[in-house]
Structure 1
Amino acid sequence: MEQNHRLLSEGPAYENPTRFRKFVGKLVYLAITRPELSYSIHVLSQVMHKPRAAHWDAVVRVLRYLKGCPGQGIILRATSDLRLRAFCDSDWAACPSTRRSLSSYIVLLGNSPISWKTKKQNTVSHSSAEAEYRSMAVTVCELKWLKRLLKDLGVTHKEAMELFCDSKAALYIAANHVFHERTKHIEADRHSVRDAVQEGLIVTRHVRTTEQTADIMTKALGASAFQYLLAKLGVRNLHSPT
């Protein structure tokens, strides 16, 4: 999608809303195997009731991207070490109308993505650290569920699962055992992440913003950054020459 877009702002109405809803509905199903479409579909799904002309232009842009790489998808490698790693990120006050932040995470099994999500947070975050920490809490819940699922399939995961975040403030809150004024309104989330760290279920790691894989699911990126994170994500085009 176009960087610094204003698709959630007002504009001239689109003359064929049924057509818009039809195409966006199909893109929702396509996102099951194409994690790089999560952010675009998240934005377009919010305007299904009253699409604008700019929204249809964004749909055409997505379709043009899909036409250029029809064989692109996830590769599940046979040599995977079956270790769970997760990247979580947030975009503070991303929604211009409600000022709610956007959370996203992507979980890798080895080097292959198996679970991802982009969703607007339920409450307004007072700081970027709070938004990042709420994203960490949601990711921890997903990691716990995937670990139990792997156990039911006969795959044990004895080592701590790695959780990568690009916010040092959120990582400091997870490691700090003292409650203070900045964190009392996110006490439930703080307990869930802190307990998981103390029990050895997860280990938090800091990652640079340029290496944050989940960044592709929280905002519209430039072409170079988008392609770099896409390759880092493990998505490949099977039709491209080797």
Structure 2
Amino acid sequence: MRLAGAKSIATPMEQNQKLTTVGFDQHVPSTSEDLTLADPSSYQQLIGRLLYLTTTRPDIAFVVQSLSQFMYSPKKSHMEAAMRLVRYVKHEPGSGILMSATVDNLLKVYCDADWGACINSRRSITGYLVHYGSSPIYGSPRNKPQSQGVQ
């Protein structure tokens, strides 16, 4: 996993990419050879580091959350998607949350949902962004069952 010389990339994930679990692949035949990683520890360590990075990089929160769903049985496609994300982070290493110098005690929260978007569980993916004044302080997607509404 030597990425020092790797080219950077402008997007964190391929558009409309759907990652699947090993169990899903067993029930739905596929033409691709997407094998389970022999040693998942390198994938798990990388995702752990990327989870930590989402504190200051909300732009990668959705992809990291998607990749973290495969921690116990990662496949080659999951590792490739994680490597793409690392190349994206390399594209703009100075990006992140900057706090505004102006004081505004207004808390704003934005929310969006993609109903039934998870191909593995058919659950909805809900994302949210929290602003304190004009500064974003937290943003993260998370799964919610389709039967629950956005609160």
Per residue, is there more helix in 1 or in 2?
Answer: 1
Q: 2:134 aligns with which of 111, 117, 122?
A: 111
1:102: which partner in 2? 125
Q: 1:42 aligns with which of 57, 62, 65?
A: 65
1:62: which partner in 2? 85
Once the two structures are superposed, the pairs formed by residues 1-242 of structure 1 within 5 Å of their partners are 1-9=13-21, 10=25, 11-121=34-144, 123-125=145-147, 134-135=149-150, 137=151
Structure 1 residue 67 displacement after superposition = 1.2
| Residue identity (%) | 38
1:149: which partner in 2? none
Structure 1 residue 20 displacement after superposition = 0.6
Mapped partners of 1:62, 1:28: distance in 2: 12
Q: Which runs of 5+ in 2 are unaligned?
A: 1-12, 26-33
Structure 1 residue 84 displacement after superposition = 1.7
Q: Deviations for 1:28-50, whole angstroms, at most 9, x for unmatched residues? A: 11111111111111111100111
Larger Rg: 1
- Contact in 1 for aligned 2:115/2:146 (Cα 8 Å): no
Mapped partners of 1:15, 1:6: distance in 2: 22
Moved over 6 A (4+): none
TM-score, structure 1 as length reference:
0.50
Q: Cα RMSD between the aligned structures? A: 1.5
Mapped partners of 1:45, 1:95: distance in 2: 13
- Contact in 2 for aligned 1:88/1:105 (Cα 8 Å): yes
